[in-house]
A and B are shown apart, each in its own frame.
Chain A
Amino acid sequence: MDWIAILNAAINGVVLGTLLALPVLAITIVFGIARFPNAATGDYMTLGAYTAIAVQTFVSSSLVLGVLAACAVTALVSVGFYLWVFRALAQRSNISRLIASLGVAFVVRNTITFFAGQDQYNLDVPLVRAWNLNGVRILPTDLYILATAAIALVLVFYFLYATPMGRRMRAVADNADLAAASGIRSHRVMLCLWTLCGVFSGLGGVLLGIKAVVIPELGFELLMPMFAAVILGGIGHPVGAVVGTLLFSVSQEIASLYVEPSYKIVMAFGVLLVLLLVRPQGIFGRPMAAR
């Protein structure tokens, strides 16, 4: 296989990986702070994509407006479900919150299909040809997607590591009791967390909708690879989530050059398996010792 094909596959993997890093980050931060794998993340993405469709259909054809509306609506829904469902279950085991999040996922998806039906929608984005640099193909749309996702990632890392609220969030993630004892109000942290989760899932959903087609299963079908990327990067670790997703996507794309494409997901999970054998805590995860 020549290097151009590999490079093309890698570029494709990087674009997909950066895009998916947004919802994966949402999963990992929720896991770090609220302490459960949020299975509704996929459907929050779907909601984001459908919101953008709704804006394009009823309000204006502006994609920027669609993206902003998607982030806002998903954030509202995400905070709403926190106040309604997850807050009440805060003291329960993480299994019950996981199951509740599955329920939330169904509610979101079926509400969408109730109004929008099962048929596919497409975001109205002009169709342009790729730039062909000696066989290496780069899509202008992909560059926009990449830039948007990258800027969002930089912003969130700035927020997490350089603002007081980010510090508080990390403190709660580290040790909730200690954080409470030092006067951090966890309710506010939680509201901030779920807003962030909603914004990132919604943004990821719209970007995904631009690349793919908008169907009710858009986000839910990606839940397994996203969870795998979280595990690969080290659960609860933001940088790990991004690196894990990139590694997962790139290996998946390159693998499909060498094996039958229907096995590409198997290959990506193969990478996950090998890595976990060597480093059971994930790339950036800290080893956890039982006391």
Chain B
Amino acid sequence: MKHSINRSRRQFVSSSMVLGATAIFPWPALTQPKGEPFRLGALNSITGVGGPYGGAMLQAIRIAVDEVNAAGGAAGRPFVLYAEDDQTKPDAAVLAVKKLIEINRVQAVVGVWPSSVGLAIMPITNNADIIMMNTCGAPEMQIENKRGLAWMFQASNAVFGKAFAKIARQRGYKRPAVMAFNNSTFVGLANYFKQTWEADGGKVSELIIYEPNQTTYRTELNRALATKPDVVALGAYRPDATIILREWFQTGHDCKFIMPGWTANEDLVKALGKEATEGIISVSNVAAHDHEAYKSFATRFREKMKREPDVFAAQSYDMVITLALAIEAAGAQAGTLDINAKVKSVTSGGQKVSSFEQGRDVLRAGGDVDYEGASSSLNFGQYGETVPDFGVFEITDGKLVLKETVPGELA
């Protein structure tokens, strides 16, 4: 009959499509141990202002996921990774995180970089009972973290602002001005700088919040320089910092800059040259270079990316390992909230471990673990915040020279 031919052809087509689909399906996830896969979302700033960091953060997450899966998964549950780009924009991030939650049904989102994104998606992740691990520095992150599902792997900018002010005073500056990129991260930094400086006596000569994505900042800069500051605390990302510092150099005004280390680094020197960057004070959370976890992560990162990991990449790696240890501690059947409850306990008060496999073995033997991360020792405070140590560097002849390490203290 005609019909049967048609049908068999249809069957052929449909069965070959199924076959094709199975070829695309992530089999590695299934060839590995039984347990139900843990769906992990990576929300990174691949494009936009965060572009210089986001790609490396995603690679760091992949490295950690591979480590966990190679060790047989967390509590036997392999990680399946779903990645999205938030474009460093809160509106795009909200769409992306909704997709991760509603379509990919992830149980945790890691790698969130800017505070604007962190603050925008927190209500959504909170409502969906989802763990959100981030590098956000806005002080509001801690206030909004009402359910304790958000974990800040980077120091709050309240801490940064305070540290900037203390360092400026220690170095004998008298008239600081502040310039900051208009987002929750840097406005927080600027305000805490001003607050700390003025609490210790003295005045901030000018505080300027500037609009992102401008071609020139000369008018803003002139406004700050008109007050004749001897030091400018500059809360900026690399693209805008490049423009501002170039324009500052062109004015010939004599003053120093204090900047966050994720901006004031060798890449900035490459963009501006040695002369314009000489003497910039760069303050950053330093990745824990002496930790075993850092060394082992850095080796794998170098292999993939052909360069040293920055602190955000190290933090992203730590997010996945911490999460995996928490799952291991909570057990294969645990829900998200139970897993979340274990985050603090696997990062403090136990046997110190530096990799997932090590930690898993201790946990299986019934011990307690304290994961010493690649980015810091990871001791979370009551609002989910960490306070990594600060390194105070000075750019000398194009190189970052470590002047001192200041232990982090809570704001």
With a cutoff of 8 Å between Cβ atoms, the chain A residues found around residue B275 in the complex are: 127
Q: Is the CB of B47 within 8 A of A113?
A: yes
Asked if B211 CB lies within 8 Å of chain A CBs, one says yes
Stretch at the interface among B49-57, B121-129, B321-329, B350-358: B49-57
Contact A139 B211 (CB under 8 A): no
**Which B residues touch A186, using CB under 8 A?**
none
Are A119 and B52 interface neighbours, CB within 8 A? yes
Structural contact, A12 and B218, CB atoms closer than 8 A: yes
- Which among A117, A256, A264, A265 has the greatest number of chain B C-beta atoms within 10 A? A256
Q: List chain A residues, Cβ under 8 A from B175.
A: none
Q: A61 to B267, alpha carbons, bound, how many Å?
A: 20
Bound-complex Cα distance A8 to B250 (A): 13
B137-183 contacts to A, CB under 8 A, are: 182
A253 lies within 8 A of B219 (CB): yes
Confirm or deny: A273 has a beta carbon within 8 angstroms of a beta carbon on chain B: no
Chain A positions 184-211 with a Cβ under 8 Å from a chain B Cβ: 208, 211
Q: Are A215 and B252 in contact (CB under 8 A)?
A: no
Interface of chain B: mostly helix, strand, loop or mixed: helix
B209 near A221 with CB under 8 A, answer no
B238 contacts A118, CB within 8 Å? no
- Contact check, B51 vs A129: say whether CB atoms are below 8 A apart: no
- Chain B residues contacting A130 (CB-CB under 8 Å) are 250-252
Indicate whether B335 reaches chain A with its CB closer than 8 angstroms: no
Kindly state whether residue A261 has any CB partner on chain B within 8 Å: yes
- Whole-angstrom distance from the CB of B117 to the nearest CB of chain A? 16
Question: Would you give the shortest CB distance from B52 to chain A, in whole angstroms?
Answer: 5
Q: B252 and A129: CB pair below 8 A? A: yes
A128 touches B226 (CB 8 A): no
Verify if A66 is at the interface (C-beta below 8 Å from B).
no
Assign chain B's interface to a size class. Answer: 35 or more
* Contact A215 B239, beta carbon cutoff 8 Å: yes
CB-CB nearest in chain B for A12: B218
Binary interface profile of B, 202-228, with partner A (CB < 8 Å = 1, else 0)?
Answer: 000000111101111011101100100
| Closest Cβ–Cβ distance, residue A13 to chain B (whole Å) | 8
Contacts of B271 in A (CB 8 A): 120, 122, 213
Distance (whole angstroms) from the CB of A185 to the closest CB of chain B: 39
Nearest A residue (CB) for B241: A213
The answer to whether A261 touches B219 (Cβ under 8 A) is yes
Task: Enumerate chain B residues within 8 angstroms of A9, measured Cβ to Cβ.
Answer: 219, 222
A contact residues vs B (CB 8 Å cutoff): 5, 8-9, 12, 15-16, 113, 117-120, 122, 127-130, 132, 137, 139, 141, 208, 211-213, 215-217, 221-222, 253-254, 256-257, 260-262, 264-265
**5 A-B pairs closest in CB distance:** A118-B51, A221-B213, A261-B220, A212-B215, A262-B182
- Seed contacts A5-B222, A261-B219; 9 additional CB < 8 Å A-B pairs: A8-B222, A16-B216, A120-B239, A120-B271, A122-B242, A130-B252, A211-B215, A221-B213, A262-B211
24 interchain pairs, CB-CB under 8 A: A5-B226, A15-B216, A113-B47, A117-B51, A119-B51, A122-B242, A122-B271, A127-B246, A127-B272, A129-B252, A141-B250, A211-B215, A212-B243, A213-B239, A213-B243, A216-B51, A217-B213, A253-B219, A257-B219, A261-B208, A261-B210, A264-B211, A264-B219, A265-B211
